[in-house]
Chain A
């Protein structure tokens, strides 16, 4: 049993909070990548509130697990979770995107506590993660690297170069997710640049693949436990998700990749999120 019912209940409460935080921050920021932030909530929540070996009051802890949010545009979700985890005061996020703020849309590792790697330009996170994982191995450290990719992001060739090297160097101290919400900016992934057969591609590159429901804490937990125990090859967790998850008018809507919210829409979005957690 990788996860108890009680744990799931607590994580659902966190996810509920974080979804509403994302809506608030999007409002304060004047706009954010809200769709892809909402689809990745469960993945980041379970990492930060169950699995990661971290100390928020000691963000530079040497043996901490590393997180690389390669789809860095989901910074609003990451920032909300870091705040709720206690890295910094949540109220600071009212300044998100504002002049001279430490928080821009894509989080800066030199400005935001708890962010291990500055991302935002797609296709950088997996190579960096392979480097972090190899670094741990060379230095005989036990920490793990967790990497989260977008599915559209996987168009970038650098991911496949990294995939090849992760297999070649037998990188198994790394857990990698793809947030498979099936949408990018200009449209659905399969219309803009087809990824399927997606799992087979990773398999052909020598990876072990788990396909799960990326909104189920149960399934994410099982996949993470599998990835952590597997020592023969790198593991890819393809997390099937819904872009805009929780907000009815955003779900599966391409146009909500990025958007701003006025008070009316903020209210509607939060009501929709509350309904999700009642049902």
Chain B
């Protein structure tokens, strides 16, 4: 499906995640004449304006009116088009929550949502513009697929994959300036299938979004400094969750930590915890994210460091969990 798409040739380091998706969407727009774009006075900030500039007759800037925008998107989808809708995560998942749930998810409409400035990516703007609740909200909407790409390359992959993925898809990205993690797009990206970005047998770090790159860095240092064999999973799809990968991590490493730029409640960590609990197996476990508070103000790098989502924080948490006890159980088969 990705054949002919050329986003990997863009200098992904120089382009923000959003810019990459803007480019990818332009390419997709040429192939799929039924793609339409929408934004709410944030066309430029979200970069969906790239699509709008190229296909002005297929693009609608509805002004600052997110609820109206998702209603319109629902109508466009009902008429047979594939709307890609983009604005800031906070104003999608909270302001327009009911339109997304009742107009789009309830009717299982083919609307692709690209939520920017998610988590604490717009750290200086304060809590009105942070969004550490969206994974919780979007996970709870039946029919919704929820994806958090690790970098610009993966954002391109998700956007491309979402066109052929029926039903609503929520794609969560940051503000932009994060460095890329992947070198090219050919690592077998598939919605719903996590990527083992580093092998390991002692502990598994399950990550999404910006924490993937940091965790791989941390894993290398833990190997050097502590002789630890650390597995890192890029759990880009939060829903449907790749339960098999989590079960393998429980069985093979017996220690798991999740890292996400989201409230520790009801996001990636909680999704993984559900699988651990249902497995019936003892497993040392910890969730790292924003500890159920409104985040501090500051540049994202400072916030990631404060909330233990950067390399140093991940190392600290991994050492903590290596010291945790769990119940040994040799008979694996009886409970899984």
Contact = CB atoms under 8 A, between A and B. Distances in A.
Contacts of A107: 126
A192 B299 contact: no
Given A99-B299, A100-B296, A192-B41, A122 B64 contact: yes
Interface in B19-49: 39-45, 49
Interface in B25-84: 39-45, 49, 61-65, 67-68
Interface stretch (A43-51, A57-65, A148-156): A148-156
B128 A120 contact: yes
Most buried by B among A106, A107, A153: A106
B235 to A, nearest CB: 28
Contacts of B7: none
Contact of A121 (B45, B90, B296): B90
Interface residues of B, number: 31
B41 A105 contact: no
B193 interface: no
A102 B128 CA distance: 14
A29 B125 CA distance: 11
Nearest to A95: B297
A157 B43 contact: no
Contacts of A29: 124
Contacts of B248: none
Nearest to B128: A120
Given A72-B128, A101-B298, A120-B126, A184 B63 contact: yes
Contact of B44 (A118, A120, A186): A186
A265 interface: no
Contact of B65 (A72, A103, A104, A193): A193
Interface string A139-182: 00000000000001101110000000000000000000000000
B64 A123 contact: yes
Interface of A: 29-31, 72, 97-108, 118-123, 152-153, 155-157, 184-186, 189, 192-193
Interface of B: 39-45, 49, 61-65, 67-68, 90-91, 95, 124-129, 296-299, 302-303, 306
Given A120-B126, A186-B61, 15 more contacts: A29-B124, A97-B297, A100-B296, A102-B297, A104-B124, A105-B124, A108-B127, A120-B128, A123-B64, A155-B40, A157-B68, A184-B63, A185-B41, A186-B42, A186-B49
